[in-house]
Structure 1
Amino acid sequence: MLNLTNVQIVYDNTIEAVREASLSVGKGSIVALLGSNGAGKSTTLKGICGVLYPEDGEIKGGQIIFEGRPLAGLPPDEIVRTGAVMVPEGRRLFDQLTVEENLVMGGYTRSRADAKRQIDMVYSLFPRLVNKRTTVSGYLSGGEQQMVAIGRALMSAPKLLMLDEPTLGLAPQITEEIFEIVARLCRQDGMGILLVEQNAQMALAIADYGYIMENGRVVLDGPADKMLRNEDVREFYLGFGEGGSRKNMRDVKHYKRRKRWLS
């Protein structure tokens, strides 16, 4: 479905944010993209979706192919029409509009009849939004805003849904609910999911495959269940040291990565 091959992304013609990154997402699969802050994860999603230009970012090399079609150079609305949609970090709702108005904005590429069907589908996924449909979205809780953001992305009936830190700042119960819905979209509807997430444990628990980025490069990848057992991943991203003891995440972040990761 989605294939990135040796992608290079540069900001201001000077800062190389992504270096020869390669990854793939298949139909009906969940792929977790993990890494510390500044590793290049969000930049990778922005490159796929064609929204690098507000920050003077540019794809300088490599290929981004979605269902056999190159995406590099396409405007964002055309990329949405191909079936690839992103839920950005921070939700980015139209906070002066109501819940339903936000959803309608997400369905601008669809016919009125299709948009109506998609709204009904969104409300079935997020029933707590039904009673909030006329509420101005800026007054919603963080969890409800995230549900609207995901629902808005689903309005275009995507084949590939990309989520950038969907559980950031959310309560554990809401986090579990959102992950359950993400898994349902994949398993029942055959949607491809590319998930950028700081909560590596939960992301790998629902994912089929995982990639880890460091300094703009993919340094490790493999089946999610295997990565959960990988000593490096457990130590650096899940916080477990030798013998299963819990390590301080501050120590983990500054711990020198094994050289074989970057060889």
Structure 2
Amino acid sequence: MLSITNLQVFYDHAVEAVRDVSLEVGAGRIVALLGSNGAGKSTVLKAISGVLYPEEGAITGGVIAYGGRPIGKLPPHEIVRLGLVQVPEGRRLFDTLTVEENLLMGGYARPAGESSAAMARIFGMFPAIEAHRHRVSGYLSGGQQQMVAIGRALMGEPKMLLLDEPSLGLAPQIITEIFQAIRRLRDERGLTVLLVEQNAQLALSVADYGYIMERGRIVMDDTPQKLLANDDVKEFYLGVQDGGERRSMRDIKHYKRRKRWLS
């Protein structure tokens, strides 16, 4: 469904943020794009969605194809109409609008009757926000805002969802609920998902395949089972040393990057 070949992205014609990234996302699959902060994951999503320009970013090489059609030069609204919708990091709701109004914005191009049915499905998926449907979204909790953000994206009945750090800053119970919903969207509706996450264990628990980015390029890709069994992934992303001993956060923050894939 989505194919990226040798993608290169620069910011302000000077800073190379993404270098020769290639990946595939098949229809009806969840693919995780993992990596530390600053690895280039969000830049890949912005390139796919056509929203690099506000930050003086530009695609300088490679091809992004969706359904066999190159989309690297399309404006964002045309990409959305093709069925590819992003949920950005930090939710980015219309804070002064109510929950219901935010959802309606996501389905603005749909007939009123279809929007009502879509909203009912979203409230069924996230019952925690239905009671707040007439509340201004800026006053919701972080978890409720994330549910509204995902719901707003789903209002347009997308074929593929791009999720940027959906677990960021949320309580464990809310994270579990959101990731259960992501899994159901794949299993019950066949929705395709490209999931960007720093939490490797969490992302790989729902993914069908995973890629790891470092310093703007893909350094490893495999099934979740093989990635979770890899010694480098266990040490640098799960904080586990040989023998199953979990490293302290202090050790993780101060390790020297001796990853074999960067040698």
Structure 2 length as normaliser, TM-score? 0.97
Residue 65 of structure 2 corresponds to which residue in structure 1? Answer: 65
200-209 or 108-117: which moved more? 108-117
Determine if the alignment matches structure 1 residue 239 to structure 2 residue 236: no
| SS of equivalent to 1:133 | coil
Post-superposition Cα deviations, 1:100-124, rounded to whole Å, max 9, x if no partner, equal: 0000111123232322221111111
Answer whether contact 2:7 2:22 (CA < 8 A) is retained: yes
Residue 95 of structure 1 corresponds to which residue in structure 2? Answer: 95
Answer whether contact 1:63 1:72 (CA < 8 A) is retained: yes
Answer whether contact 1:205 1:225 (CA < 8 A) is retained: no
In the TM superposition, residue 254 of structure 1 has moved relative to its aligned partner by 4.4
In the TM superposition, residue 248 of structure 1 has moved relative to its aligned partner by 2.5
Residue 137 of structure 2 corresponds to which residue in structure 1? Answer: 137
244-253 or 86-95: which moved more? 244-253
Distance (Å, rounded) in 1 between the aligned partners of 2:82 and 2:40: 24
Determine if the alignment matches structure 1 residue 148 to structure 2 residue 148: yes
Distance (Å, rounded) in 1 between the aligned partners of 2:98 and 2:138: 8
- Superposed CA RMSD: 1.2
Post-superposition Cα deviations, 1:120-158, rounded to whole Å, max 9, x if no partner, equal: 111111112111110000110111000000000001111
Answer whether contact 2:213 2:219 (CA < 8 A) is retained: yes
Determine if the alignment matches structure 1 residue 54 to structure 2 residue 48: no
Distance (Å, rounded) in 1 between the aligned partners of 2:222 and 2:250: 25
Residues 1:80 and 1:250: Cα distance change in structure 2 (over 3 Å): farther
Distance (Å, rounded) in 2 between the aligned partners of 1:55 and 1:128: 34
Answer whether contact 1:29 1:207 (CA < 8 A) is retained: yes
Answer whether contact 1:9 1:57 (CA < 8 A) is retained: yes
Residues 1:75 and 1:39: Cα distance change in structure 2 (over 3 Å): same
Matching of residues 1-263 of structure 1 within 5 Å: 1-258=1-258, 260-262=260-262
Answer whether contact 1:236 1:253 (CA < 8 A) is retained: no
Distance (Å, rounded) in 2 between the aligned partners of 1:250 and 1:168: 21
1:146 maps to a residue whose letter is Q
Which consecutive segments of 4 or more residues in structure 1 shift more than 6 A? Answer: none
**Residue ranges of structure 1 left out of the alignment (5+ in a row):** none
Answer whether contact 1:100 1:133 (CA < 8 A) is retained: yes
Residues 1:21 and 1:254: Cα distance change in structure 2 (over 3 Å): farther
In the TM superposition, residue 253 of structure 1 has moved relative to its aligned partner by 4.6
Distance (Å, rounded) in 1 between the aligned partners of 2:217 and 2:34: 11
Distance (Å, rounded) in 2 between the aligned partners of 1:59 and 1:78: 17
